[in-house]
Structure formats: structure tokens, C-alpha cells
Amino acid sequence: MNPRTILAVLSVAALAVACSTPTDGTAGPTTASSVPSLPYGGAPKVENPLPDNALSGDPCQALTPQQLTFQLGSAVTGKPDNVPTPACDWTSPDTHSFIGLSFFPKSNDGLSNVYTNVRPQMKRFDVLPPIQGFPAVAYSVNPGPNSNSCDVNVGVTDQLSFAVEASPGETKRGKIDPCPLAVSVADNVITTLKRKAGR
């Protein structure tokens, strides 16, 4: 399963939660009793959430040129990729290191969706210390620390989350743990989002 497939799992799983189980051959709208309250699946509560519009902007604007230069070596231009969710990709022309950022809407149920639907499919799933106070997890389709890429998903409210995918440069790929890179980028994104929210 590649990272874009993981994003699709996050999106489709949220749609599945939003549909009730048909009893007479026709699907009906959900009822309050059939929708689990947030958070669920073992996901932690976001104690100090950002505003509901925190992820309403363009993901390509979530990292500053200075942050990109620090992470990738140069302030490369982001490439929008809005399928299945608003996203942006950055790739270093020199090292081919990669950063991907995706914003997930409220319908995805934040980290609850990740704990419930993504966690069972991952070979690695690490509950991380909060990043600037926001709960986060790291995961990969490969076991062990030296996979080619790592995803970090951060809950900014109980319903909203964003995911960072990071892959180191070609000379380091498969030789170092990419998760600290993804965590560092996620920290940069939170700094931007907090600034946008006036914090």
C-alpha cells in the first residue's frame, strides 16, 4: 500500500462511518445512536483544538520558504495534488527527498479514523509525544525504522487532522528512519497553522 492509497483509505473509511447499515435493502441516513462519539478507536482527545477552519487554506502555503529550505535544502515550489483530499507535494531537485502534506476534512473524524482504519493495515504504528500539544501518530507499511517513507498524522481537532509523508534523499533512503523528518515537518506545519489562528 503506497501513501496515496493510505490517503484513500482514510477518505473512504470516513464515508463508511457516515452510512448506516441497511436493514431492508436500502441505505438510510445515519442516526445519532449509530455514529460513534469522538474520539473513538483508542484515539486521544485534542485538548486544545485549533479553530474549525484551521485546514481551510491551501496546503502548499503551510510550509514557508525558510522551512522548506531547512527540510529539503531549497525552497522548492509545491505541487498541488487534490485527490482524494487537498494536498501538496515538494520534491528536492538535488537529493530527491520528498515531503507530502494532506489536509483531511471533518468527515474523516480526525485521528479516530486513523486509529480505527489505518492502524490495522500498518506494519509500524507509533503513538508519538504530542507535537506542540497536538496528538500525533507515525505509521508505515514497512516494519522497522529504515523504511523508504513515513507518515505522521496530527489531530488539530477531534474531527480534523493533517498528514505529512516524508522520504529522505536517495543516498539516505532505506538507511535512516524517515519518521523524525516527518515529525519535524509536522511541527513546522503546526507552527504555520497556529500563526494563522492567531496563537
Q: How high is the pLDDT of residue 24?
A: 44
Query: Is the per-residue pLDDT at 198 higher than 80?
Result: yes
Q: 42-56: per-residue pLDDT in tens? A: 999 999 999 999 999
Q: How high is the pLDDT of residue 35?
A: 60
Mean pLDDT of 153-170: 95
CA distance 187 to 152: 10
Mean pLDDT of 163-184: 92
Of 31 and 135, more confident? 135
Q: How high is the pLDDT of residue 169?
A: 87
Query: Is the per-residue pLDDT at 167 higher than 50?
Result: yes
Q: How high is the pLDDT of residue 13?
A: 52
- Give the pLDDT band (50/70/90) at residue 144: confident
Q: How high is the pLDDT of residue 86?
A: 94
- Give the pLDDT band (50/70/90) at residue 31: very low
- Please give the C-alpha separations between residue 88 and each of 14, 55, 69, 177, in angstroms, as whole numbers: 21, 13, 16, 22
Q: How high is the pLDDT of residue 1?
A: 40
State the pTM of this model: 0.84
Q: How high is the pLDDT of residue 7?
A: 54
Mean pLDDT of 101-111: 95
Using a pLDDT cut of 90, give the percent of the chain over it: 68
Query: Is the per-residue pLDDT at 3 higher than 70?
Result: no
Spell out the SS3 assignment of the chain.
CCHHHHHHHHHHHHHHHCCCCCCCCCCCCCCCCCCCCCCCCCCCCCCCCCCCCCCCCCHHHCCCHHHHHHHHCCCCCCEECCCCCCEEEEECCCCCCEEEEEEECHHHCHHHHHHHHHHHHCCEEEEEEEECCEEEEEEECCCCCCCCCEEEEEECCCCCEEEEEEECCCCCCCCCCCHHHHHHHHHHHHHHHHHHCCC
